[in-house]
Chain A
Amino acid sequence: MKYRPRTFVLELVMIAVAIGFLFPVYVLVTLAFKDPQQIANRPLSLPDPPSVGSFGEAWRSAGLSSALLNSTLITVVSVLLLIALGSLAAYFLARTATRLSYSLYILFLVGIILPFQLGMIPLYQLVDNLGLLGTYQGMILFYTGIQLPFTVFLYTGFIRSLPADYTNAALIDGASHLQAFAHVIFPLLRPITGTVLILNAVQIWNDFFTPLLYLGGSGHETVPVRVFAFVNQYTSNYGLVAAGLILAALPILLLFLILQRYVIRGFASGLKG
């Protein structure tokens, strides 16, 4: 496609749209760099002079360093479990054509459209009875279970598109099924594993409601829960709250910028199946 005068007009229109789209970000960033007096007198102008004091105070009073550690731990372990359990189960489901495997596949698919709200309260009781309220283990168990249907769905679709004969050679050579899976099949799944990793990590890292319910007041709160409490506590101190929001969103945005090609591709291909 050539660059014509019409393309130039389209370019200008799209850039104008992007500027409008970024307006909320402008509001947030300018608030964070202003002192209370500037916020009161010139709410929409650029900060002059910019003050960075809000950031240090927000970092300390929101308790972000421990929240970041909690979020990282829960997300990493859950995603690893999802990859391990999901790929193994999907391999069985995709490679056996029995009534049992078909029923199990359908059972997993049901989980994709089942709203979590239906099981929310019994699950809360179950987690409580198991003594897992307020623990990392409870959250990891929850995320692994709730994200499995989608993970199994992605892996099963991908494995079905692979030729079936790869493992046979390994099995003839005397490898166990688990060895054949780990050394032959799993490496072939790399593209879909990338998608599974990104989609689940974003979902788990950003989740708010479940950690609020299961981790509230435990000291193991994740970033969104800590930010929620922080914002409600300092509700009228706009500059401080804005700085806290920026600090809390920065890690995932930085990660996104580094991995953006894979993230966008993962979102698109993962959902195309």
Chain B
Amino acid sequence: MRVRIAPPWWFAVPAILVYAVVVLYPSIAGAGSAFTDWSGVGNAKTFVGIDNFKQLVHDSQALGALRNTLLLTVAIVVVQNGIGLLLALGVHTSIKSRMALRLVFFAPVVVSPVMVSFLWKFVYNPAPDAGLNAALGAVGLGGLRQDWLGNPSLALWSVAFTVIWQCAGYSMVIFLAGLEGVPAELHESAMVDGAGTVARFRHITWPLLAPAVTINVMLSTVGGLTLFTQIIAMTNGGPGYATDTLSTVLYKQAFVFGKFGYSTAVALVLAIFVAAVSFVQIGYLRSRETAA
């Protein structure tokens, strides 16, 4: 006798309740208050239509933050995944130190971003004889010494590099998982046919890595677009507004300036951005996967 009794619906009820209270209701309420002048004190809100968004279009600080957010995201997605892939290819070999190296490169992933940010503030110490500057001097590159976090045209990249240092191991592990799925026989037969390292990577490894690329690109994109902790801990958006992102701007507008309505408008723009980019990426990267 074959019975197939479905689990009862109430199995899902506790999860849905908690999810609705913590995520769904606040997000809908947040999207709603983007169209009000809510000050955050009490519940007094007046509907102001799209005024907040009009203000946003003319807010040079917010536009600068949008630009910073996009630059950071592109830098993180490209460099972090590039380094992650190279590390994965390096430790997915017969070198003796491969297990120890995997540990070293992955360890920063499990440390809190706040602590990693503070660690890098030591490295970026502006004094010429401390941290990175001292190391540059010691290897004869003293001319490259910089005020890494104090120079407005450099600070954003210094923060980006910190994120990349912390998360490259994350990309590496996902690429490693992908590399383990590449059949060794394919490489062997290609080698017999005389294919070199580069050719084998291009025609065998890279196409089969497509799912790992999809996950890595999506995760680092959302991570970059919503980056917050590292900026608050390292530069607090400064110097000036040089490292402000949409996340830090909406935080400051709400909790420093008490403009909750305007802040949620910035948050709504961020959410639409993340959703749009995610959908485009899923569509494009999935089609690449099936083509491979």
Binding site for B on A (CB under 8 A): 1-3, 7, 10-11, 13-15, 17-18, 21-25, 27-28, 31, 43-44, 85-86, 88-89, 91-93, 95-96, 100-101, 104, 107-108, 111, 113-123, 126, 141-142, 144-146, 148-149, 152, 164-165, 167-168, 171-172, 177, 181, 202, 205-209, 213, 223-224, 227-228, 231, 238, 241-242, 245, 248-249, 252-253, 255-257, 260, 263-264, 267-269, 271-272
Contact = CB atoms under 8 A, between A and B. Distances in A.
A164 B127 contact: no
Contact of B97 (A15, A146, A149, A207): A15
Given A122-B29, A168-B5, A271-B215, A85 B119 contact: no
Contact of B173 (A14, A256, A267): A267
Contact of A168 (B3, B28, B113, B247): B3
Interface of B: 1-9, 11-12, 14-16, 18-19, 21-31, 33, 40, 87, 90-91, 93-97, 101-107, 109-115, 118-120, 122-123, 125, 127, 129-132, 134-135, 138, 165, 170, 173-174, 176-178, 211-212, 215, 219, 222, 225-226, 228-229, 232-233, 246-247, 250-251, 254-255, 260, 263-264, 267-268, 270-271, 274-275, 278
B15 A10 contact: no
B5 A171 contact: yes
A217 to B, nearest CB: 14
Most buried by B among A2, A88, A117, A257: A117
B275 A27 contact: no
B281 to A, nearest CB: 10
Secondary structure at chain A's binding surface: helix, strand, loop or mixed?
A: helix
A232 B256 CA distance: 18
Contacts of A269: 177
Nearest to A256: B110
B274 A115 contact: yes
Contacts of B7: 91-92, 95-96, 177, 181
Nearest to A169: B3
Nearest to B11: A92
Contact of B14 (A1, A89, A264): A89
